[in-house]
Amino acid sequence: MPNVLVTGANGQVGSELRALSNAYEYTFFFTDRGTLDIGDINAVEAFVGDNAIDAILNCAAYTAVDKAQSEPDNADAINHLAVKNLAHIAKTKGITLVHISTDYVFDGTHHRPYIESDATHPMGVYGQSKCDGEAAMLAINPANSLILRTSWVYSSFGANFVKTMVRLGKERTSLGVVFDQVGTPTYARDLARAMLEILPQIESRDVEIYHYSNEGVTSWYDFAKEIMRMAKLSCAIHPLLSQEYPTPTKRPHYSVLDKSKIKKIFAITIPYWKDSLDEMLTILGERK
C-alpha cells in the first residue's frame, strides 16, 4: 500500500482528498503548514524518509491573487521555492510528485482552449509565482512526476466563489458579476478524484504538464446565474465589464483549458461543470 504525502491538506483540494481517502488503497499523510513546513527542505526530507513516502500530492499554495501584489515574497516562498524543494526531494528519493498549478500562468488573450505547450505569460505576482514554480520543477525534472494546471476551483470546503454567491444571494436582491471573463469552473472533488485515479498510472522520464478542469465553458456571470437557479435564490445577477469591477490583479479574459491530453493518456472521464455544481450544492445543503 503506497504512502502518499498530501501537503496543503486543509485547503479545498486537500480537504477533498481527505474526504475521498477511505475509498483508495493508499496510506495518507495529511499535512499543513503547522505540521510540515514545505519551505524547510530538511524538514520535508526527514518526513519523507521517516514515513517511507512514495508520492507527494502538493496542494499547498498561496492563492490570494490580489493580496499577492503586496506580498510577493510570501507568494514566491510557497508557489515557487517550496515547489523547488519538493522537486529536489522527489528527484533524490525517486518518488512521484504531483503539483497543482493554475490557468493564471496564461494571459488570457487566446480565443481557443489553451494546450499544455502554449507559451506562458502571467499578468500578476500570483501567476508569476506559480509559473516560477512550474519552471523550477521542470528544470529539476523528477521522473514520474507531473504538473496539473486547473482553473476556477470551488468546493464545499473553504472559501470560494460558489459559497460567496450563495451567501450574497441570501443577503441581497441583486449583484453585479463580470461577464467578459470566460473559463471553466473546477469542482475540487473532481480534481482530487482525478489525481488519485491517475497516480498509479504515472510513468514518464520527464515532468509532464496536464490540464484539468470540468467540461464546458462559461463566464463568471453565467456561473453566478446557475448558482442562483440551482439554489432557488431570487437575487438578480447583472452583467459587468471587467473595467467596472477593477481589481489589483488583471484577470485573464479567456482561460479555457484543453483537457485532451489528460483524457487520452489516463483514460479518465471528466464531469460537466453544471453536474458538478449540482453535486457540490447538494453536499452543501443548498440545492433546492
pLDDT of residue 94: 97
The stretches of the chain forming alpha helices (DSSP H) are 12-20, 41-50, 72-76, 82-93, 125-140, 161-171, 188-198, 220-230, 260-266, 273-284
Bridge partner residues of 28 (DSSP): 4
Q: What is the pLDDT of residues 67-88, one digit of tens each?
A: 999 999 999 999 999 999 999 9
Q: Which CATH fold would you assign to the domain 3-158+186-215+255-272?
A: Rossmann fold (3.40.50)
Q: What is the pLDDT of residues 264-279, one digit of tens each?
A: 999 999 999 999 999 9
Would the pLDDT of 1 be above 90?
no
Angstrom CA distances, 1 to 27, 92, 151, 181, 195, stand at 7, 21, 31, 43, 17
Q: What is the pLDDT of residues 78-130, one digit of tens each?
A: 999 999 999 999 999 999 999 999 999 999 999 899 999 999 999 999 999 99
- Among 26, 62, 104, 126, the active-site one is 126
104 in active site: no
Query: What are the grid coordinates assigned to 190, written together?
Result: 473532481
What are the boundaries of each domain within the chain?
A: 3-158+186-215+255-272
> Distance between CA 7 and CA 36 in Å, rounded?
8
Residue 261: band (very low, low, confident or very high) from pLDDT cuts 50, 70, 90: very high
pLDDT of residue 254: 96
